[in-house]
């Protein structure tokens, strides 16, 4: 699971680099990514779906560090962006525009213009109003806009309520009736090239079934329209992202398992495939390293391990009650293969029940609640695993905390790919009085 993060002689390594030594030079909190893990996960999903020859558009929101985007671009990836800022990042590293797709329910006119001026491949359109706006802006620029209609298939992806997107009450995508109406009226949008259909159900998804159910529903609609000669078919089918990773160490389905069930249904569309994985590629390719600042035991109450990483560094536990494994960087207690929420793991050394918390002034600033944890001392380093996706990208300066640095390991080589912010950075764009 954490193949590129392993303990050797009681010390955590990222690839061939000793995490304590890396931190000795850089301090905490720090995100550490494994370059070869990123590449291996990209290759795994690409190879699993190879038969369908998809364009794999890495979902930039999962991790938008320029160096990481460049690694993936060099490996052949395209990119899924959802804002002008993300588009700016991928253009900055020289990604060919015909490998960029742009999703999101609220693209502003400025963002649409910026994307059209840079000739991106297509927009994943999420409403009639947006389609009309893209058409109008394309007309004013004398350009043609490639679009895919993002359909909301009203399917339960069986994931966290805050990260499901394909139910009809969610803000994402266009319902079937409106999709049909748009397709029938497509000639009225003079500067639009309708290139494809897009479906994204939510994230993380642990089973191929929701994808298959959603694609069947979409295919039924399209076949009906094709048979009644309302349309001819589409060149591209974008099946979005959502492919799960293991946060606990338990085996979860891998891209090959998803491909086995998804590819047959995608063949019915007779279209080229686009995919938008984010979490699968970077999630288990990164850790967040923190230092224990204080230990605090309340009489008759809980023991708190107070560390220097907080909800502003990794918000997933606070926001979604997400489970991230945490273990000391240097420890004689073996990290168990599997660790489940609320269960004492099976391991050789002594464990105690603690809350691992940050210094932010919110009770929800918790990285782990009621966690069985090896006995640690103040000053010790701890690693929060599976933090490579939606970790740094969701971080903030709350409580005026400078954001962590990001470090990349390739074999033994460590490079700083984003320096730690300073107090001066915090105020650099503010006015004093
Ligand atoms: N495509 C679209 C249109 C999306 O909205 C997303 C994620 C993806 C692709 C990539 O999904 P992935 O392969 O990474 O699962 N902050 C949450 C996850 C939010 C996902 C938002 N959209 C978390 O930390 O779990």
Give CA separation, 146 vs 85, 131, 143, 196, 292, in Å. 20, 11, 10, 9, 51
Q: Specify the residue with its C-alpha closest to ligand 1, atom 9.
A: 241
pLDDT, greater one: 347 or 2:
347
Question: Do 44 and 180 fall into the same domain?
Answer: yes
Q: Is the CB of 255 under 6 A from ligand 1?
A: no
Percent of all residues in the chain with a pLDDT value above 90, rounded to a whole number: 88
> What is the DSSP-derived secondary structure letter of residue 154?
-
Out of 203, 204, 210, 384, give the residue to mutate to test ligand 1, the one with the largest number of ligand atoms within 8 Å of its CB.
203
Cα separation, 280 vs 252, whole angstroms: 11
Q: Does any domain span residue 164?
A: yes
388 CB under 6 A from ligand 1? no
For the segment 194-235, what is each residue's pLDDT rounded down to a tens digit?
999 999 999 999 999 999 999 999 999 999 888 887 777 789
42 close to ligand 1 (CB < 6 Angstrom): no
Judgement on whether residues 240 and 287 belong to the same structural domain of the protein: no
The CA 130 to ligand 1 mean position distance, Å, reads: 21
Judge whether 114 lies within some domain: yes
248, 317, 291: which is closest to 404 by C-alpha? 291
Same domain, 188 and 276: yes
* 233 vs 36, higher pLDDT: 36
Last residue of some domain: 254, 281, 308?
Answer: 281
Q: Per the domain annotation, does 225 fall within a domain?
A: yes
Q: What is the pLDDT of residues 74-102, one digit of tens each?
A: 999 999 999 999 999 999 999 999 999 99
365 — pLDDT class (breaks 50, 70, 90)? very high
C-beta 278 within 6 A of ligand 1: yes
Mean pLDDT of all residues in the chain? 95
Q: What CATH code is carried by the domain that includes residue 339?
A: 2.40.37.10
pLDDT in tens, 248-302: 999 999 999 999 999 999 999 999 999 999 999 999 999 999 999 999 998 878 8
- Among the listed residues 14, 57, 307, 361, the single catalytic one is 361
Boundary of a domain, candidates 231, 260, 281: 281
Cis peptide before 337, with omega less than 30 degrees from 0? Answer: no
Picking from 251, 281, 311, the residue at the C-terminal end of a domain is 281
103 touches ligand 1 (CB under 6 Å): yes
Number of compact structural domains in the chain: 2
Q: Are residues 109 and 82 in the same domain?
A: yes
Same domain flag for 15 and 40:
no
Q: How far is the CA of 36 from the centre of ligand 1 (A)?
A: 22
- The whole-number pLDDT of residue 412 equals 97
Per-residue pLDDT, 396: 98
Cis peptide before 244 (omega within 30 of 0): no
Ligand 1 within 6 A of CB of 324:
no
pLDDT of residue 303: 95
Domain that holds residue 332: 5-33+283-427
pTM for the whole structure: 0.97
In the annotation, is 361 catalytic? Answer: yes
| Statement to judge: residues 200 and 69 lie in one domain | yes
Task: Say how many Å lie between the CA of residue 275 and the centre of ligand 1.
Answer: 12
pLDDT over 70 (residue 1): no
Both 79 and 21 in one domain: the answer is: no
Name the burial class of residue 144, with classes exposed (0-12), middle (13-18) and buried (19+) by CB atoms within 10 angstroms of its CB: middle
Indicate which CATH number applies to the domain containing 86.
3.20.20.10
């Amino acid at each position: 699971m954490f193949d590129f993060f392993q303990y050797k002689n009681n010390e955590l390594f990222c690839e061939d680099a000793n995490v304590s030594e890396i931190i000795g030079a850089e301090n905490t909190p720090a995100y550490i990514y494994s370059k070869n893990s990123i590449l291996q996960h990209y290759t795994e999903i690409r190879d699993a779906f190879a038969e369908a020859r998809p364009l794999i558009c890495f979902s930039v929101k999962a991790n938008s560090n320029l160096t990481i985007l460049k690694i993936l671009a060099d490996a052949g990836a395209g990119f899924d962006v959802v804002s002008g800022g993300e588009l700016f990042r991928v253009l900055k590293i020289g990604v060919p525009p015909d490998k960029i797709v742009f999703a999101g329910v609220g693209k502003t006119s400025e963002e649409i213009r910026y994307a059209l001026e840079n000739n991106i491949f297509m927009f994943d359109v999420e409403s009639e109003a947006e389609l009309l706006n893209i058409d109008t802006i394309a007309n004013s620029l004398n350009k043609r806009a490639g679009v895919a209609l993002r359909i909301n298939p009203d399917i339960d992806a069986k994931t966290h309520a805050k990260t499901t997107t394909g139910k009809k009450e969610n803000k994402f995508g266009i319902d079937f009736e409106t999709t049909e109406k748009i397709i029938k009226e497509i000639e009225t949008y003079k500067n639009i090239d309708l290139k494809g259909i897009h479906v994204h159900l939510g994230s993380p998804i642990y089973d191929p079934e929701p994808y298959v159910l959603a694609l069947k529903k979409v295919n039924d609609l399209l076949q009906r329209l094709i048979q009644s000669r309302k349309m001819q078919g589409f060149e591209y089918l974008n099946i979005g992202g959502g492919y799960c990773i293991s946060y606990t160490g338990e085996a979860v389905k891998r891209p090959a398992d998803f491909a086995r069930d998804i590819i047959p249904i995608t063949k019915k569309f007779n279209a080229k495939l686009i995919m938008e994985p984010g979490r699968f590629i970077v999630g288990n390719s990164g850790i967040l390293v923190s230092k224990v600042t204080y230990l605090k035991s309340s009489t008759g109450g809980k023991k708190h391990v107070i560390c220097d990483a907080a909800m502003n560094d990794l918000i997933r536990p606070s926001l979604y009650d997400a489970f991230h494994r945490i273990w000391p960087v240097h420890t004689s207690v073996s990290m168990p293969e599997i660790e489940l929420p609320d269960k004492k793991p099976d391991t050789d050394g002594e464990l105690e029940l603690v809350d691992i918390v940050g210094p932010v002034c919110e009770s929800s600033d918790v990285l782990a609640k009621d966690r069985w944890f090896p006995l640690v001392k103040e000053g010790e380093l701890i690693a929060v695993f599976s933090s490579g996706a939606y970790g740094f990208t969701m971080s903030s300066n709350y409580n005026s905390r400078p954001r962590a640095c990001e470090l990349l390991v390739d074999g033994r080589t460590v490079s700083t790919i984003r320096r730690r912010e300073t107090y001066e950075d915090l105020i650099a764009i503010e006015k004093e009085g």
